[in-house]
Amino acid sequence: MAPAIALLATIVLTGIGHAQVPEEWQLGFQDPATPVMERLVDFNNILIWMCVIISLFVFVLLGIIIFKFNRKANPVPTKRSHNTLIEVLWTVIPVIILVAIAVPSLRLLYYQDRAVDAEMTIKAIGKQWYWTYEYPDIGEDISFDAVMLEEEELTEGQYRLLETDTRVVVPVDTTVRLLVTADDVIHAWTIPAFGVKVDGIPGRVNEAWFKATKEGVFYGQCSELCGAYHAFMPINVEVVSKEAYIEWVDFAREEYAQNNQDTPQNLILANSR
Ligand SMILES: [Cu+2]
């Protein structure tokens, strides 16, 4: 019974005040910040209840067998070898349960697969060991790297191993199409509160989407073992108001336009044409 009570406590706690970062001894999910994650949490809760009910049913059956059919209580065992009705039931009922799980599961899988009417696009490129982001909507040459902050670079209130020097900025209540790929080995772009986890594979572009419904900073980490510093390429997404986003776009055009920088390399290329 104790595990079942612990499980129930988990379900009850799932919905309560987690930040957008992992917490010590956290059992449930982070607070959902997108419609996809809300549905994932709901689906998970339904599944846990199904697990609890099935487990209790099996425990009760086990108890009955232990107490009623042990050698002392039942010295002369029956010779019965099978029962057709029971065999049909224990085949058909699990099939019904599995189908009942599969239908909402597949529906959710397709819902989270691709954005309907995406309002903007961001591209994330995994590299050993940081992420590069592109914003094709605001300029073909807008691109920046997001590198983890070392411990000595952190300021008060920042999280170890989770902060990057540059954040992905997106407007709230906006459907964002996310394109993910990689330059060297496989990485995975993840924000738990968004319900997004998608592999970045060299030579291939994967798609995901999110529509953040809350403003704030959301944290994730690379989720595909990619080498020695896999643990040191976190992901930060800052969700801001639409007005603040427009301001950020102006800033980004100034700051991140790669063509703005007349590096010697660019000058050499320009002169050689
Ligand atoms: Cu990695």
User: Cα–Cα distances in Å, from 69 out to 48, 60, 75, 78, 224?
Assistant: 31, 14, 8, 10, 50
Quote the ligand 1 centre to 173 CA distance (angstroms).
29
User: Identity (one letter) of the amino acid at 246?
Assistant: I
Residue 260: the pLDDT is 54
Quote the ligand 1 centre to 224 CA distance (angstroms).
5
CATH 1.10.287.90 fits 2-113, yes or no: yes
Quote the ligand 1 centre to 14 CA distance (angstroms).
27
pTM: 0.79
Quote the ligand 1 centre to 143 CA distance (angstroms).
20
- Mean pLDDT of all residues belonging to the chain: 87
Contact 190, 265 (CB under 8 A): no
Per DSSP (E only), the strands in 193-263 are 196-200, 206-211, 216-221, 234-240
Residues of the chain with pLDDT below 70 are 1-19, 259-273
Quote the ligand 1 centre to 186 CA distance (angstroms).
7
Quote the ligand 1 centre to 245 CA distance (angstroms).
29
Beta 206-211 vs 175-182: how paired, if at all?
Answer: antiparallel
Quote the ligand 1 centre to 258 CA distance (angstroms).
26
Query: For residue 200, which of 137, 129, 110, 265 has the smallest C-alpha distance?
Result: 129
Provide CB contacts within 8 A for 97, sequence distance 6+: 50, 54
Q: What is the pLDDT of residues 37-96, one digit of tens each?
A: 999 999 999 999 999 999 999 999 999 999 999 999 999 988 888 899 999 999 999 999
How far is it, in rounded angstroms, from Cα 155 to Cα 88? 64
Quote the ligand 1 centre to 128 CA distance (angstroms).
8
Tell me phi and psi for residue 263, to 5 degrees.
-75, 155
Give, in words, the CATH class of 120-260. Answer: mainly beta
Per DSSP (E only), the strands in 161-215 are 168-171, 175-182, 187-191, 196-200, 206-211
Quote the ligand 1 centre to 29 CA distance (angstroms).
21
Contact 194, 237 (CB under 8 A): yes
Quote the ligand 1 centre to 88 CA distance (angstroms).
47
Quote the ligand 1 centre to 104 CA distance (angstroms).
30
Quote the ligand 1 centre to 139 CA distance (angstroms).
28
Domain residue ranges of the chain, discontinuous segments joined by +: 2-113, 120-260
Does residue 135 sit in helix, strand or coil? coil
Quote the ligand 1 centre to 225 CA distance (angstroms).
4
Q: Please count the CA atoms within 13 angstroms of the CA of 234 that sit on its side-chain side.
A: 22
How far is it, in rounded angstroms, from Cα 23 to Cα 217? 15
Quote the ligand 1 centre to 236 CA distance (angstroms).
15
DSSP secondary structure letters along 32-50: P-SHHHHHHHHHHHHHHHH
Residue 98: the pLDDT is 96
- What residues are neighbours of ligand 1 (ion), with CB under 5 Å? 187, 222, 226, 230
Quote the ligand 1 centre to 110 CA distance (angstroms).
25
